[in-house]
Chains A and B, each alone.
Chain A
């Protein structure tokens, strides 16, 4: 008999809204893409995190919003993605 077991958890990413309506935080404890690359024993490209940070910054260009990216861990892909209204950040 051939047996397969697939176990997927989504709780590794949380999206949080604070009481401030002008803020949104996405906390990724494990990035599935980075996890997959690590499992393949393929080296992670330098600046891999730019996929997220640059895209978010570009999306926010010419909008009232600013994207921030922090706590990047290239081993797990963990990071904090933060969106905040520019006026509110002042």
Chain B
């Protein structure tokens, strides 16, 4: 068995290989295929809880990957609001930059921009522009719910967010209402 981080060089090498064999567009098609078929957890979260589903999904995945980041959620009771993320050091790109035995895929960071926005868009969540500093393995972006989702989705997200507020201190999360 190998750890999940060991897959990162494999992904990078696979992307390089696809581009070498076909072209960049083929790599994008591969990412689109992954986006359509392997992001069920994200899709289930936003389908049920709207924007707050994004918070839950990335809170879990970024902590699991031991990323160095700041994430903020600003949510209204009607389900509108926005979420920002400032990735100070991406564990995935950071790992590739530390590898000396191969060259990371030149557009490795592009996969995030292809994978996530289409799913979020299906549920009314707009992805803001992304700031990228590849050589520092840093990036930042935002997600916006501009229009209220269906009332049951807004309610499910709001209830989950209130629960997060209750447990915030224990989890080291700063929380406030205004």
Contact = CB atoms under 8 A, between A and B. Distances in A.
B70 A4 contact: no
Given A39-B169, A39-B170, A3 B68 contact: no
Give the interface residue-count category, chain A: 10 to 19
B67 interface: yes
Contacts, number: 77
A40 B170 CA distance: 6
Interface residues of B, number: 36
B178 A1 contact: yes
B90 to A, nearest CB: 11
Interface in B120-178: 158, 161-162, 164-165, 168-178
Interface string A1-33: 111111111110000000000000000000000
Interface in B31-71: 55, 59, 62-63, 66-71
A4 B67 contact: no
B68 A4 contact: no
User: B interface, by DSSP: helix, strand, loop or mixed?
Assistant: mixed
Contacts of A10: 66-68, 89, 91
B75 interface: yes
A43 to B, nearest CB: 16
19 contacts: A1-B74, A1-B76, A1-B81, A2-B77, A2-B158, A2-B165, A2-B175, A4-B72, A4-B161, A4-B175, A6-B171, A6-B174, A7-B70, A8-B62, A8-B68, A9-B68, A10-B66, A10-B68, A36-B172
A12 to B, nearest CB: 10
Nearest to B174: A5
Nearest to A11: B68
